[in-house]
Amino acid sequence: MKTVITYGTFDMFHIGHLNLLKRAKKLGDKLIVAVSTDEFNSLKNKKSVICYEQRAKIVSHIDCVDKVIAENSWEQKIQDIQKYNIDIFAIGDDWLGKFDFLKEFCEVVYLERTKNVSTSNLKNKIGQINELL
């Protein structure tokens, strides 16, 4: 029984997020997703369109997701890995190398990002449409 964990904002949930979660789940048997709170997002210099409660609820209803927890800080990963007996930490390869320090505690896997889709692109497209209206 392998448990996988991943972290993210998952704002304006899109196919890139879904692909990531499905790929992460395929690495093990159980998938825990730590969704960034609005307060933590400000530490990431991110302002999400959708509030934490709704982002967490959407992610919790994705078939391959077994549990959702809050991501409140950069520092919580090691504690989470120990608390939830995590076997694999997985995240998109836009973070390649950034979480290698976790290799002391569990396997670290960087998964291929889905090309040509991002929350910022979606926001820009919506902005352009609004300008045309």
The reply on whether position 3 binds ligand C2G by CB under 6 A is no
Retrieve residue 127's tokens: 């902005």
Retrieve residue 91's tokens: 């995240």
Q: Which is nearer to ligand C2G, 2 or 113 (by Cβ)?
A: 113
Residues 31-90 that bind ligand C2G (CB under 6 A): 36, 44, 71
The reply on whether position 10 binds ligand C2G by CB under 6 A is yes
Locate all alpha helices (DSSP H) within 50-118, ordered by sequence: 52-60, 76-83
Nearest Cα to 107, choosing from 35, 28, 13, 47?
Answer: 28
Q: Is 46 a catalytic residue?
A: yes
Sign of CA dihedral 36, 105, 99, 119: negative
Q: Is 25 a catalytic residue?
A: no
The reply on whether position 117 binds ligand C2G by CB under 6 A is yes
Residues 6+ apart with CB under 8 A from 1: 29, 30
Which residue is listed with tokens 């210099």? 45
- Of 25-33, 61-69, 78-86, 91-99, the window that binds ligand C2G (rule: CB under 6 A) is 91-99
Q: Which is nearer to ligand C2G, 64 or 118 (by Cβ)?
A: 118
For residue 52, give the 3-state DSSP assignment. helix
Catalytic residue IDs: 44, 46
Where does this chain bind ligand C2G (CB under 6 A)? 7-11, 16-17, 20, 36, 44, 71, 91-92, 94, 113-114, 117-118
